């Protein structure tokens, strides 16, 4: 997760995505700092969606390739969050394709807690999200 974590949990995008809101609340109960990191990432992603909408002509497509990841044992559905956020801007999600990441360099599981034997899946599939500007 990137971006600045000096974000406010009253940010408008939380209301635009019920899935994001629920997942942030769950992460926040475990670690407020990580919840802010996650929110910062989605704020930046929302800005990207806004810019794409601004420059695209009507009926044209914006295609994103993402992956769903786990933070503090909460599986973040980035594909569905993008669909919800983009709808508020005037996009329609035409299709989401899911594809296994072949020749993945990173291990399929890691230990995000640094506790021996506690493993969590890393990103195993990529999501190809087709958005059409209305």
CA proximity to 3, closest of 121, 100, 13, 96: 13
Give residue 113's pLDDT.
Answer: 62
* Structure letter (DSSP) for residue 95: E
Domains of the chain: 13-133 (3.40.50.150)
Helix (H, G, I), strand (E, B) or coil at 103: coil
DSSP H or E stretch at residue 88: none
Helix (H, G, I), strand (E, B) or coil at 9: coil
In Å, how far are 21, 38, 50, 97 from 18, measured between CA atoms? 5, 15, 19, 22
CA proximity to 36, closest of 75, 8, 12, 78: 8
Give residue 107's pLDDT.
Answer: 66
Task: Tell me the helices (H) and strands (E) count for the chain, helix number first.
Answer: 4, 7
Give residue 106's pLDDT.
Answer: 66
Tell me which residues of the chain have a pLDDT lower than 70: 1-5, 104, 106-108, 112-115
Give residue 123's pLDDT.
Answer: 76
Which residues does 129 contact at the CB level (< 8 Å), separation at least 6? 63, 64, 65, 66, 79, 82, 83, 93, 95, 96
């Amino acid at each position: 997760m990137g971006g600045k974590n000096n974000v406010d949990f009253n940010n408008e995008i939380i209301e635009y995505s019920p899935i994001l809101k629920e997942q942030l609340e769950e992460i926040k109960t475990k670690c407020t700092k990580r919840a802010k990191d996650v929110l910062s990432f989605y704020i930046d992603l929302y800005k990207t969606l806004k810019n794409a909408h601004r420059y695209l002509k009507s009926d044209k497509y914006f295609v994103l390739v993402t992956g769903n990841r786990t933070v503090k044992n909460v599986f973040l559905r980035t594909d569905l969050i993008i669909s919800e956020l983009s709808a508020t801007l005037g996009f329609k999600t035409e299709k989401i394709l899911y594809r296994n990441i072949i020749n993945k360099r990173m291990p399929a599981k890691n230990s995000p807690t640094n506790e021996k034997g506690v493993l969590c899946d890393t990103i195993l599939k990529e999501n190809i999200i087709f958005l059409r500007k209305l």
